Amino acid sequence: MNKRQARLFAIGSTVVAAVAFLALTIDSHRQFPALTNAQNITPAVTHGKNVWHKNNCINCHTLFGEGAYYAPDLTKIAQQRGAPYLQAYLRDPSKFYDEQRHRRLMPKQDMTDAEIADLVAFLDWVSKVDNQGWPPRPILVTGAGVAITGTRSADQAAAVSRSAPPPGPESLPSDKDPMALGEIVFRTVSPACTACHSLVPGANMAGPSLAGVATRAQQIVSSPEYKGKAKDVEGYLSESITSPSAHLVPGAMYSANGVSFMPATFGKDLTPDQVAHLSAYLASFK
Amino acid sequence: MRYRSQSVAYGYFAVAMVLFGLQLVFGLLSAAKYLGPDSLLYILPFDVTKVVHTNLLIVWVLTGFMGATYWMVPDESRTELHSVKIAYIQLILWTLMGVSAVVGYLFRYGTGNKLLEQPLPHKIVIVICMLLFLYNVGMTIWKSRRFTTTEGVLVLGLGLAALLYLPALLEYENYTVSIFYRWWTIHLWVEGVWEMIQGGFLAYLLIRLSGADREVMEKWLYVIVGLVLIAGILGTAHHYYWVGVPAYWLPIGGIFSALEPLALIGMAIYAYSAMRRSGLAHPNTLALHWTIGSTVFTLFGAGLLGLAHTFPDVNKWTHGTLITAMHGHAAFYGAYAMIVLAMITFALPTMTPGRSERGSSIGYWAFWMQLGGMFGMTLSFATAGIAQVYLERILGMGYLDVQLKIQVHFLMLLATASLFSVGVGLFIFDFFRYAPRFDVGNEKQPTLRPDTVRPAPIS
């Protein structure tokens, strides 16, 4: 090969690669509207994106796995936390996490309620983008997720119960938001709620998925089929926690002979405050 | 120094040195925050230290590129620069832009778009500076009527880098689309046209330092550029996997990213064999260390550690973890920091008389401490990242709990980063130790010309 041929190779391969790349770019543009649900990019979502940029969120967090690695990925956060939870969190993160415990804390941002609401709308839009199913397993902020779903060994179970003495769940200082406290209960009570319930839509384990549970609870308490005592969503959730058989979710894998398979021990193991926190947390999944 | 106007390079190098030092201050601050708790949470939170850290990197490396180009183009085209005045105006404008951007970041004045945080007025100044620069370099070459392949590759790389910055000036309604075009700038810079710039400097240095034949060196430079771009352009796909694009980007990214190390292997062989075959034709062995070191560290950081996580089936677990920080630090340092340091080390003895042409022992300490430090930092990020992927992504532990479990790696990061910083501190000290004096022709040029001297091969 002489210099001229080498130059031809350089120019030729560059042109071929560039043309292929541009063709794929054009085709991607054809598919972007469907993949990203572009029709759902409302003015609120766009404003929320600007709030995301204005507050430099990307230089601690990742979104679609891109950004900095100092804070959790937020791609699917709107599916793991309800909007009321996220809004309360963004108003004051220190009500949810303890810097002494995790050695890291998100500084409180200077945002109006409208900015917060739109930021949450933006994160909700992000969580619904078709991104090839990433992440393959939910990325949690705290606690343990998949390892506790029945695959854990006796040793691990013992280790977990040592770190969180049963039956009382781990505690945070009581100045935290009820939803934050409820989330701790959700993950650390024994037996853990996460052992049977996922927060991913449609991912039913031993118990039904709790994604959107607040909306379903609303429908249940207002339907004539419902025979329990609760009048509202939080009441229904509390009742389901303390007396699981008061209302049965249809499905042979969840109950038999009018008795729910869910342990009926939470009524006496949890304090009324803890039940209230847990209900507040679950009620954020609209 | 053969041409008086080459002295403008000194100003660029000096600015680059100061910004490099400042970059490390913010890097060390960011690393300390990984250990936490953060006593500066409301004064200088992580997002601010991190954005300053990465932006200073981009600014100082580009400053170095510009200075090195102003040094190299007169040598290659055998002429004075078109305009020294434009070069200095550009330097002042550029430095003001860089410094005011950093000050703005301290007050959260930025676009919040990763690596493209420069506010619009700053972006416009960047474009103006690039135009001044390309005009000045272009006119120099035009007037000289001598245009070598080496400087052609360099100038084309710089021109394309300016062109690829333009998508960053636009706003996109759809976040996914905005990510898509963000990578046109960032990826096609660092894994495309910036490698042309690196290749140009590399060929220049090898031709000067070794007795290698220009025709042969330039032929292989073309081959390397071809390999870089065929893999680099379509390799952009590895940034697209999980951001909301069609599925065909996954196999494309997997295949072409796997080709990327080929070009880098080629580059390392290129540098090494030039020295093996043609021997040393220049006394500056320290510059030689930086030159060969750059190709080897690029192969390690960009090639090997990039390949470690670009395959889609691997990337789906490692994406967005400290594994990326591992690759990013080693790749950027090896490819771009080291090639700029090589150019500086090569040019410095003739601009600052009194300095040994072989390089001082402080210079060698700086080299080895930086290399050891960066290698250690890479290992710290790697071990932290592997633990993070396993605990957080595979076992499903919470992010914050995992970060507590990998604190020991952050301690290791701080320790090795301190070692690296001492190495950089020594380099900066060595740079400013001798006052510049711009005498034309103080280089004993004839005895160093490759075609007149052909010492025995070093092996």
CA atoms of A42 and B5, how far apart (whole Å): 56
- Interface contact B394, partner A, CB < 8 A: yes
Question: Hey, are the CB atoms on A28 and B246 less than 8 Å from each other?
Answer: yes
The beta-carbon neighbor of B219 closest among A3, A31, A59 is A3
Q: Which residues contact B147 (CB under 8 A, 6 or more apart)?
A: B77, B141
CA atoms of B113 and B8, how far apart (whole Å): 33
Cis peptide before A250 (omega within 30 of 0): no
| Mean pLDDT score of chain A | 86
Question: Hey, are the CB atoms on A56 and B117 less than 8 Å from each other?
Answer: yes
Amino acid at A177: D
The interface residues of chain A toward chain B in range 16-75, judged by CB-CB distance below 8 A, are 16-18, 20-21, 24-25, 27-29, 31-32, 35-36, 38, 41, 46, 49, 52-60, 62-73, 75
Residues in A touching B222 (Cβ below 8 Å): 3, 6-7, 9-10
Q: Which residues contact B109 (CB under 8 A, 6 or more apart)?
A: B119
Question: Hey, are the CB atoms on A137 and B321 less than 8 Å from each other?
Answer: no
Q: Which of A166-170, A195-199, B15-19 has the lowest mean pLDDT?
A: A166-170
Q: State the complex-level ipTM.
A: 0.93
CATH 1.10.760.10 in chain A: give the residue spans: 37-135, 146-282
Question: Hey, are the CB atoms on B248 and A24 less than 8 Å from each other?
Answer: yes
Give B437 to chain A, closest Cα distance, Å. Answer: 39
Q: Which of A142, A169, A5 is nearest to B222 (CA)?
A: A5
Strand partners, B397: A144
Q: Which residues contact B62 (CB under 8 A, 6 or more apart)?
A: none
What does the block give as tokens for B301?
A: 């950081």
Determine which of B395, B406, B408, B413 to mutate to test the interface with A (most A C-beta atoms within 10 Å).
Answer: B395
**Contact indicator for A284, A82 with CB cutoff of 8 Å:** yes
Scanning every residue of chain A, which has its alpha carbon at the shortest distance from the alpha carbon of B403? A102
Q: Give all strands (DSSP E) within B139-221, no chain letters.
A: none
The yes/no answer on whether domain A146-282 falls in CATH 1.10.760.10 is yes
Across B215-219, average pLDDT: 93
Q: Which of B232, B166, B167, B168 is nearest to B199 (CA)?
A: B232
Q: Please name the residue that has the structure tokens 């180009």.
A: B69
- What pLDDT sits at residue A189? 82
Q: Please name the residue that has the structure tokens 């990742």.
A: A62
- Interface contact A102, partner B, CB < 8 A: yes
pLDDT digits (tens, 9 = 90+) for B173-212: 999 999 999 999 999 999 999 999 999 999 999 999 998 8
Q: How, if at all, do strands A62-63 and A255-256 pair?
A: unpaired
- What pLDDT sits at residue B277? 86
pLDDT digits (tens, 9 = 90+) for A199-248: 878 778 778 889 889 999 999 998 888 888 888 999 999 999 999 988 88
The beta-carbon neighbor of A36 closest among B36, B174, B222 is B174
Question: CA of A81: how far to CAs of A78, A209, A286, B134, B423, in Å?
Answer: 5, 13, 9, 51, 46
- CA dihedral (B324, B330, B332, B333) positive or negative: positive
Query: Coil, helix or strand for A67?
Result: strand
What does the block give as tokens for B218?
A: 């330039």
Across A258-270, average pLDDT: 87
Q: Which of A214-228, B31-45, B91-105, B112-126 has the lowest mean pLDDT?
A: A214-228
pLDDT digits (tens, 9 = 90+) for B11-42: 999 999 999 999 999 999 999 999 989 999 99
Give B283 to chain A, closest Cα distance, Å. Answer: 29
The interface residues of chain B toward chain A in range 201-220, judged by CB-CB distance below 8 A, are 215, 218-220
Question: CA of A131: how far to CAs of A42, A75, A212, B322, in Å?
Answer: 20, 10, 21, 21
Question: CA of B428: how far to CAs of B13, B21, B29, B347, in Å?
Answer: 10, 8, 20, 15
Q: Running DSSP on this structure, what letter comes out for residue B212?
A: -
CA atoms of A163 and B434, how far apart (whole Å): 61
- What pLDDT sits at residue A170? 53
- What pLDDT sits at residue B442? 57
Q: Which residues contact B56 (CB under 8 A, 6 or more apart)?
A: B19, B20, B22, B23, B26, B98, B102
Q: Give all strands (DSSP E) within B314-448, no chain letters.
A: none
Q: How, if at all, do strands A255-256 and A259-260 pair?
A: antiparallel
Domain topology for A37-135:
Cytochrome Bc1 Complex; Chain D, domain 2 (1.10.760)
**Contact indicator for B179, B113 with CB cutoff of 8 Å:** no
What does the block give as tokens for A269?
A: 């193991």
Across B451-459, average pLDDT: 47
| A263 — pLDDT class (breaks 50, 70, 90) | confident
| Mean pLDDT score of chain B | 93
CA atoms of B252 and A231, how far apart (whole Å): 56
Cis peptide before A191 (omega within 30 of 0): yes
What does the block give as tokens for B380?
A: 């710290």
CA atoms of A58 and A74, how far apart (whole Å): 10
Question: Hey, are the CB atoms on B245 and A102 less than 8 Å from each other?
Answer: no
**Contact indicator for B446, B452 with CB cutoff of 8 Å:** yes
| A255 — pLDDT class (breaks 50, 70, 90) | confident
Question: Hey, are the CB atoms on A132 and B117 less than 8 Å from each other?
Answer: no
The string over A2-12, giving b where at least 16 C-beta atoms fall within 10 Å of a residue's C-beta and e elsewhere, is ebeebbebbee
Query: Coil, helix or strand for B382?
Result: helix
CA atoms of A282 and A214, how far apart (whole Å): 7
Q: Please name the residue that has the structure tokens 């996220």.
A: A86
End-to-end Cα separation, chain A, in angstroms: 67
- Highest mean pLDDT of the ranges A21-35, A141-155, A165-179: A21-35
What does the block give as tokens for B7?
A: 């002295």
| A168 — pLDDT class (breaks 50, 70, 90) | very low
Residues in B touching A46 (Cβ below 8 Å): 173
Question: Hey, are the CB atoms on B112 and A56 less than 8 Å from each other?
Answer: yes
Q: Which of A226-240, B338-352, B422-436 has the lowest mean pLDDT?
A: A226-240
CA atoms of A124 and A196, how far apart (whole Å): 25
